[in-house]
Homo-oligomer: A and B are copies of this chain.
Amino acid sequence: MSDQKPFIGEVTFHVRYAETDAMGIVHHGSYIIYFEEGRSNYIRQRGSSYAEFERTGYYLTVSEVNVRYLRPARYDQRLTVRCRVSEAKSRQITFSYEVVDAENGDVFATGSSKHICITQDGQVARIPDLWRAWVG
């Protein structure tokens, strides 16, 4: 029985100009990239590497993404992306995210992404035990 709090990865960076749009704010599609950066960083902070995972012949293909936008972010603001594993099954993993203002904690967006473990030829597979360390 696990009472443990889940590990939360955190990474902070500046909004790039290319990530904004003609509304003067961060384009809503950029948050998908922020989530991805949060996920990459989560795995690094767990002492592993998604690049290494792929080199062993496995992929976590994305099956679902959901984003809720709460307030607009702008060029050069410092964002912190918080990422955690919110569900882990043998073949599937769900990450949850919060993108917040690194200065004052205001929440820009929240969301989640679902991933299925596949092999190079596209077959669904169990996530190898080797990688269980950073899953959940």
Residues of A within 8 A of B (CB): 13-14, 16-18, 20-25, 27-29, 32-33, 36-37, 40-41, 44, 49-51, 54, 59, 61-69, 72, 74-76, 122
Alpha-carbon distance between A78 and B50 when the two chains are bound, in angstroms:
14
9 A-B pairs besides A21-B21, A61-B69 with CB distance below 8 A are A14-B41, A22-B25, A22-B75, A23-B59, A28-B62, A29-B32, A63-B68, A63-B69, A65-B67
**Copy count, this protein chain:** 4
Q: Can you name the residue of chain B whose Cβ is closest to the Cβ of A67? A: B65
**Distance (Å) between the CB of A115 and the closest chain B CB?**
10
Query: B69 to A64, Cβ gap below 8 A?
Result: yes
Knowing A13-B13, A18-B29, A28-B32 touch, does A66 contact B69 (C-beta < 8 A)? no
Q: Can you name the residue of chain B whose Cβ is closest to the Cβ of A50? A: B76
Query: A21 to B23, Cβ gap below 8 A?
Result: no
Q: Can you name the residue of chain B whose Cβ is closest to the Cβ of A35? A: B29
Name which of A25, A29, A69, A122 has the most chain B CB atoms within 10 A of its CB: A29
Name which of A16, A28, A49, A61 has the most chain B CB atoms within 10 A of its CB: A28
Alpha-carbon distance between A29 and B29 when the two chains are bound, in angstroms:
7
- Residues of chain B within 8 A (CB-CB) of A23 are 59, 61
Knowing A61-B23, A65-B28, A69-B62 touch, does A33 contact B18 (C-beta < 8 A)? yes
